[in-house]
Structure 1
């Protein structure tokens, strides 16, 4: 695949404003946001359907943590860097389209899983597809938007995280509860599609299986729209003149990129801070609907709606606000990309602890919503720094290297760690009771008295609740790294004068 540069549009555009017209830039950013929303819906849907899958396949929390974290991250983190390196010279648009097709198809197939191993492998497939999304998308955004508006642009793109989680909740919960195989069978017969009604044994198809197909299929359709409407901009179109000249040279070697990034302390600290925040976020997020069901006795639909309220609306406000505010105050406060996320995550910690421990859900939602808004202040500035410390030859690779570390700790280790901690705390509480119980006896639930069943349910809820609270405390650690990034942020960012330093590092 060769890179498409759309010369006609390039000649009529102003590099100081961005590639294409203002309306077309907004359209492309909106399209990339939708791509990322589909990306995160397919990633987050497993967390929404956690308990139905767990009971259907006879699994434990640690199994679900492995499927939601390790399986997805296995190739997602390892393929990100080579795919990004390819996108430095090949069409970023077509890489995104191919990736979207793969992850959407694998999500649909997850609905056909009949065992832990099969679902594990299919989630590996989802991760392989999603590895080709964000690095080329961030590179495209940097060429479409000038440096002074990039933090806002990447924050809008990053809205895909909370909005994707929100739509996953709004779709997954209700579909699981109300669209069973029997419903589909009746509907197909009523439409006269008896051939489809008799195609498989719909009566035995569970709602969570239908949910996977329902969220995966739209991504396949949207990939066609991207093919027809999105243009590939010239590389380095909005970079400073010196960086733009470099973009026309040969592709930078991975070793050259890593050498430059190694000399950017701000980049390193933001990567570490984001990795810790991702570890906490994925660890908690994978079990939030399960927490709401176990602790507050909600149905899956109710839990998914509450989860969507917190993750979708308030987290989205936090993601957009961080980038928008950073752009607006950057002239007076050039280190805003550093201290704004640090303040947000620090303040979110006590709010999360209070919210997850309060027994009354309606009261708990107040600190939980405020905490979600504040802790997501890290996401927009994170992408702005990842893409802002290097020129366009290295931007996708810079993002991919950062996401390798972030997702290694976040996706690969976050959900398994919180699941293991939940199971450990549950086992500890069971071992200290006088009812002769263990995790194995509670899972089997055979010949248990009412008191024993009640204890199993209580420890399952409390173990997860305390695990989530302990995880939330780690946001303080993440905030420290964002503060430390501020010490060299102005020197390291290209748009703040870091071009000279980069040239010296590359030639050292």
Structure 2
């Protein structure tokens, strides 16, 4: 067992770094990367199913004769409420059941419920189908975090997690391309098959986007096997059993770390969900950019700099490891909060549309950089049979705080503090700067607790 030689700054000699142990048999191999690719595609598929509704707002409203408010409930409340309820339950199932089979069931269910959205003829039917999509998609994140941790060594963990985190960006981009293609294809199918004429084009689009997921589920069934449960740090098998009560007690005893990182994730989610929700409006109101130009330029910026940030994260981790930091995975996430804070604070002071886009590019880069690092850090110190619960809590708190506080707090400050729609940029800056500062404090103060958990996992 390697001894830990800690420096005052939290660094350690290289013989204590977690990536120095040889990978466990099967880790980092072709099979591991294939499983990662499948999990990333599954996560992307979930986002395509999730986002299609946003392309079909007006046809749905016309067919179902519903208001903007009712449609917003289908878009937001129906999905996120079911997601939040199901997430902890599915996270626990990840720890006690076959994860591959649970993923199969989840894919079939969310694709099936997506198809059922196309069979809805009333507001209530579409609301319930949308709840089904949200509840079943809640399995994807905790399953993936748990399986990736059992497929990769500590040396490759941050990179693997960062690649997986690209799923939503790929899915969000593909939803626009695939959604437009599917809508056009649906019109052609109706012309070729008069028996489908009773379905509206938007209804057929949901059916066509949902059913192919069953084929993907078959691919998972035939090509993916359940990986063995293992410890990441010491590269050894890990099948420690935890009851639900035992898993909760395990996390509670280590709450100085878990409370900080989970709340840090929530603060980061305020920026991740709040800034993109209002930044296009800021560009239109304050900088006079046409809506079409905003969609193209801001959308391209988010995809490009988001991918760049996610792929840079593992490089920063390795750079810190080479300089002797045992806590490099968490430290990289904490350090990213500082430039993100500065970029957020600069929004009211930039000049012109190009300056505003440059500030946005910096924010997107630095809020995606730590995401994979934080997910990897959680899996490095969690026993295999608790990783599903940990992943579920990560996702639950991010969605709860991010959706619940991010966009709404920005709107409240614009409406009730400034009482001026053109001040939305300052509102974004205030909310996101404060959230970034709190996240930085939480993550930096979590570092000593993280190092203790690394040592604990190494000796258990």
TM-score by length of 2: 0.79
Say if 2:313 is the partner of 1:322. yes
* Contact preservation (8 Å) 2:186, 2:205: no
* CA–CA separation in structure 1 for the residues paired with 2:259 and 2:401: 15
* CA–CA separation in structure 2 for the residues paired with 1:228 and 1:268: 39
Match among 160, 173, 176 for residue 167 of structure 2: 160
Which protein has the larger Cα radius of gyration, Structure 1 or Structure 2? Answer: 1
Deviations 1:14-66 (A, max 9, x none): 97256256222211111111111112222333445556656776666655543
- CA apart distance, 1:253: 3.2
* CA–CA separation in structure 2 for the residues paired with 1:224 and 1:371: 39
SS of 1:330's partner is helix
- CA apart distance, 1:88: 1.4
| Structure 2 counterpart of 1:274 | 265
Say if 2:332 is the partner of 1:375. no
Say if 2:222 is the partner of 1:217. no
Match among 383, 388, 405 for residue 380 of structure 2: 388
Map 1:23-422 to 2 at 5 A: 23-49=30-56, 63-172=70-179, 179=184, 182-186=187-191, 188=192, 196-201=193-198, 205-206=200-201, 208-209=202-203, 211-236=205-230, 238-240=232-234, 244=236, 247-261=238-252, 263-285=254-276, 296-298=289-291, 305-306=296-297, 308-332=299-323, 333=325, 334-335=327-328, 336-350=331-345, 360=353, 364-411=356-403, 414=406, 417=408, 421=412
Say if 2:431 is the partner of 1:474. yes
- CA apart distance, 1:315: 0.9
RMSD: 3.8
| Structure 2 counterpart of 1:497 | 455
Deviations 1:90-126 (A, max 9, x none): 1111111111111122223334445544333222111
- CA apart distance, 1:372: 1.6
User: Structure 2 vs 1, CA of residues 369 and 492 (structure 1 numbering), >3 Å: closer, same or farther?
Assistant: closer
* Contact preservation (8 Å) 2:306, 2:365: yes
* CA–CA separation in structure 2 for the residues paired with 1:137 and 1:150: 12
- CA apart distance, 1:400: 1.3
How many residue pairs match? The answer is: 432
User: Structure 2 vs 1, CA of residues 420 and 276 (structure 1 numbering), >3 Å: closer, same or farther?
Assistant: same
* Contact preservation (8 Å) 1:151, 1:327: no
Larger displacement relative to structure 2 (303-312 or 53-62): 53-62
* CA–CA separation in structure 1 for the residues paired with 2:261 and 2:59: 37
* CA–CA separation in structure 2 for the residues paired with 1:291 and 1:214: 36
Deviations 1:128-182 (A, max 9, x none): 1111111121111111111222111111111112222121233335655xx2865
- CA apart distance, 1:68: 3.0
* CA–CA separation in structure 2 for the residues paired with 1:20 and 1:411: 36
* Contact preservation (8 Å) 1:71, 1:123: yes
SS of 1:43's partner is helix
* Contact preservation (8 Å) 1:491, 1:498: no
User: Structure 2 vs 1, CA of residues 249 and 279 (structure 1 numbering), >3 Å: closer, same or farther?
Assistant: same
* CA–CA separation in structure 1 for the residues paired with 2:172 and 2:409: 19
* Contact preservation (8 Å) 2:41, 2:167: yes
SS of 1:393's partner is helix
Structure 1 stretches of 5 or more lacking a match?
A: 1-13, 189-195, 430-461, 504-508
SS of 1:159's partner is helix
User: Structure 2 vs 1, CA of residues 169 and 350 (structure 1 numbering), >3 Å: closer, same or farther?
Assistant: farther
* CA–CA separation in structure 1 for the residues paired with 2:75 and 2:272: 13
Larger displacement relative to structure 2 (481-490 or 72-81): 481-490
* CA–CA separation in structure 1 for the residues paired with 2:368 and 2:198: 44
Larger displacement relative to structure 2 (400-409 or 40-49): 40-49
* CA–CA separation in structure 2 for the residues paired with 1:348 and 1:215: 38
TM-score by length of 1: 0.72
* Contact preservation (8 Å) 2:344, 2:432: yes
* CA–CA separation in structure 2 for the residues paired with 1:140 and 1:477: 34
* CA–CA separation in structure 1 for the residues paired with 2:273 and 2:37: 25
Structure 2 stretches of 5 or more lacking a match?
A: 1-20
